[in-house]
Amino acid sequence: MKVSVDIRHSVQHGDGTKPDWDGIMETANHQEGEAAAVKIGDSPLESNQPADSLAASFSLLENHMFPDPVESNGSAAVSRIEPVNSQPPDVSAEHLGLDEKPPSDQVMKLDPEKTKTECQNDVSMQPADGTTEDDATDNDQSDSGEFVVTMLAKAKLEEQGIGVKGRSSPLLEAGTQESSSFTSHRDEDVTADSWRQHRKHVFVLSEAGKPIYSRYGSEEALSSTMGVMMALVSFVQSGDNIIRSVYSDEHTVVFLQKGPLVLVCVSSSRQSEQQLQGELLYVYYQIISMLTQASISRIFEHKKNYDLRRLLAGSEKILDGLLNLVDSDPSFLLSAVHCLPLASSLRDSLSQILQKAITPNLVFSILIAKNQLLTIVQEKTVIEDSRLEPADVHLLLNLIGASSAFQAGEIWTPICLPLFNPDCYFYAYISYLDPPECTVCLLLLSTDKEAFYSVAECKRKIEEAMMAQNSLSLIAKAGTYSVSQVGVSDLRHFMYKPFDVPDNYRQLTQFTSPEMEAPYSSEEEKMRLLDLYRYMHGRIHSTSRPLKLIYHVAERETLLAWVTSKFELYTCFSPLVTKACAITAITKLLRWIKKEEDRLFIRYPPKYSTTPNPSKSSRGGKSDQQDSTDNGFLSLL
Amino acid sequence: MGESLPRVHGGAQQHSDTLRRPVHTLRVKMVLLGSSGVGKSSLALRFSKDEFRSTSPTVGCAYLTQVVHLSNATLRFEIWDTAGQEKYHSVTPLYYRGAHVALLVYDITQRETFVRAQVWLKELEKQYIPGSTVIWLVGNKGDLAHDRQVPLEEGESLASNKGLYFIETSALSGEQVNELLQSVAHRVFECIGAQQGGLTEWQETPTVDLRHKDSFNLFASCCKVGP
Q: pLDDT for B104-155, tens place per residue?
A: 999 999 999 999 999 999 988 887 766 788 999 999 999 999 999 999 999 9
Instruction: Give the model's pLDDT for residue A190.
Output: 87
- Name the residue among A302, A6, A241, A254 with its Cα closest to residue A102: A241
A629 CA: distance to closest CA in chain B (Å): 6
| Predicted pLDDT at A41 | 31
Left (φ > 0), alpha (ψ -120 to 50) or beta: where does A179 sit? Answer: beta
Listed as own residue / partner, the contacts of A448-452 with beta carbons closer than 8 Å and 24 or more positions apart are A448/A360, A448/A361, A448/A625, A449/A414, A449/A425, A449/A625, A449/A628, A449/A629, A449/B91, A449/B94, A450/B94, A451/A359, A451/A360, A451/A361, A451/A362, A451/A427, A452/A412, A452/A427, A452/B63
Task: Please report residues of B whose CB lies closer than 8 A to that of A625.
Answer: none
Of B51, B57, B212, the CB nearest to A314: B57
Nearest chain B residue to A310 by CA distance is B86
Select A483-600's CATH number: 3.30.450, 3.90.320, 1.20.1740, 2.60.40. Answer: 3.30.450
Q: What is the DSSP letter of A522?
A: S
Instruction: Please tell me the predicted confidence (pLDDT) of residue A13.
Output: 39
| A2-328, CATH topology level | Beta-Lactamase (3.30.450)
Q: Is B140 an interface residue toward A (CB < 8 Å)?
A: no
If you average pLDDT over residues B161-190, what whole number do you get?
A: 93
Interface check B56 vs A, CB under 8 A: yes
Q: Which of B35, B53, B90 lies at the smallest CB-CB distance from A629? A: B90
Across the interface, whether the CB atoms of B216 and A456 are under 8 A apart is answered: yes
Residues B12, B71: Cα–Cα separation, whole Å: 6
Do the Cβ atoms of A248 and A62 come closer than 8 Å? yes
> Would you call the peptide bond into A260 cis, given omega within 30 degrees of 0 as the criterion?
no
**Between chains, do A409 and B215 touch, taking CB under 8 Å as contact?**
no
Chain A CB within 8 Å of residue B153 CB? no
Contact A602, A376 (CB under 8 A): yes
pLDDT, mean of residues A474-493: 93
3-state helix, strand, coil in chain A (%, to 5): 45, 15, 40
In B23-71, where does DSSP find H-type helix?
40-49
Select the more confidently predicted residue: A628 or A192: A192
DSSP classification of residue B149: -
Residue A338: strand pairing partners = A511
**C-alpha distance from residue A58 to each of A7, A12, A70, A97, A145 (Å):** 8, 14, 12, 17, 9
Interface check for B99 against chain A (CB to CB < 8 A): the answer is no
ipTM of the complex: 0.80
Q: CA A409 to CA A431: how far, in whole Å?
A: 6
Angle made by CA atoms A267, A272, A276, in degrees to the nearest 5: 55
* CB half-sphere exposure, B100, CA atoms < 13 A: 31
- B55–chain A Cβ distance below 8 A for any pair: yes
Whether residues B216 and A635 touch (CB distance < 8 A) is answered with no
Give the integer Cα–Cα distance in Å for B14 and B12: 5
Assigned architecture for domain B9-14+22-193? 3-Layer(aba) Sandwich (3.40)
- A600 half-sphere exposure, CB direction, 13 A CA radius: 21
- What is the structure's pLDDT at B72? 83
Question: Tell me, what's the pLDDT at A500?
Answer: 67
- Report the percent of chain A where pLDDT is more than 70: 64
- For residue A259, is pLDDT > 60? yes
Q: What is the pLDDT of residues A513-572, one digit of tens each?
A: 999 998 999 999 999 999 999 999 999 999 999 999 999 999 999 999 999 999 999 999
The Cα angle at residue A464 between residues A366 and B203, in degrees rounded to 5? 115
With respect to CATH, is domain A337-384+392-479+606-613 assigned 3.30.70.330? Answer: no
CA distance A368 to A380: 21
pLDDT in tens, A280-298: 999 999 999 999 999 999 9
**Least CB-CB distance to B222: which of A404, A413, A453?**
A453
Least confidently predicted of A294-308, A319-333, B45-59: B45-59
> Contact B79/B30 with Cβ under 8 angstroms?
yes
Residue ranges matching CATH 3.30.450.70 in chain A: 2-328
Q: What single-letter DSSP state applies at residue A535?
A: H
Q: Give the nearest partner residue to A409 out of B64, B94, B95, using CB atoms.
A: B64
Interchain proximity B41–A408, CB inside 8 Å? yes
B33 touches chain A (CB under 8 A): no
**The pLDDT of residue A14 is above 70:** no
Average of per-residue pLDDT across A143-148: 38
User: Mean of the pLDDT values across residues B150-174?
Assistant: 94
- Determine contact: B5 vs chain A, CB below 8 A: no
- State whether B216 and A317 contact (CB < 8 Å): no
CA distance A412 to chain B (A): 5
Q: Do B91 and A312 touch (CB under 8 A)?
A: no
Chain B residues within 8 A of A317 when measuring between CB atoms: 56-57
- Mean pLDDT (chain A) is 73
User: With the C-alpha atoms ordered A349, A353, A356, A361, is the resulting torsion angle positive or negative?
Assistant: negative
Question: pLDDT for B199-211, tens place per residue?
Answer: 777 766 543 333 4
Q: Compare all CA atoms of chain A with the CA of B55 and give the residue at the minimum distance.
A: A404
Q: Where do the structural domains in chain B lie, given as residue ranges? A: 9-14+22-193
Q: Do B62 and A450 touch (CB under 8 A)?
A: no
Neighbours of A127 (CB within 10 A): 11
CA–CA min distance A482, chain B (Å): 34
Answer yes or no: do A636 and B41 touch at CB < 8 A: no
How many CB atoms neighbour CB A27 within 10 A?
13
Reduced to 3 states (helix: H, G, I; strand: E, B; else coil), residue B68 is: strand
Distance CA A136, CA A123 (A): 21
Smallest Cα distance from B16 to chain A, Å: 24
Mean pLDDT of A600-625: 61
How many angstroms separate the CA atoms of A52 and A35, rounded?
Answer: 8
For the beta sheet containing B134-140, the strands, ordered from the edge strand earlier in sequence to the opposite edge, are A607-608, A372-379, A362-369, A440-446, A426-432, A410-415, B61-69, B74-82, B25-34, B101-107, B134-140, B165-168
Q: How many CB atoms lie within 10 A of CB B190?
A: 11
Q: Name the pLDDT band for A404 (thresholds 50, 70, 90).
A: low
> Considering only CB atoms, which chain B residues are within 8 Å of A318?
59
The pLDDT score that the predictor gives to residue B51 is 87
Residues of chain A with CATH 3.30.450.30: 337-384+392-479+606-613
pLDDT for A194-253, tens place per residue? 898 999 999 999 998 899 999 998 888 898 889 999 999 999 999 999 999 999 989 999
**Beta partners for residue A429, in sequence order:** A412, A444
CA-to-CA distance for B145 and B109, rounded, in angstroms?
Answer: 7
pLDDT, position A503: 53
Question: Which residues on chain A are in Cβ contact (under 8 Å) with B112?
Answer: 177
Q: Is B112 on the interface with A (CB under 8 A)?
A: yes
User: Could you give the strand order of the β-sheet that contains A242-247, starting from the edge strand earlier in sequence?
Assistant: A11-12, A2-6, A242-247, A252-258, A261-267, A200-206, A211-214
The nearest CA of chain A is from the CA of B48 a distance in Å of 9
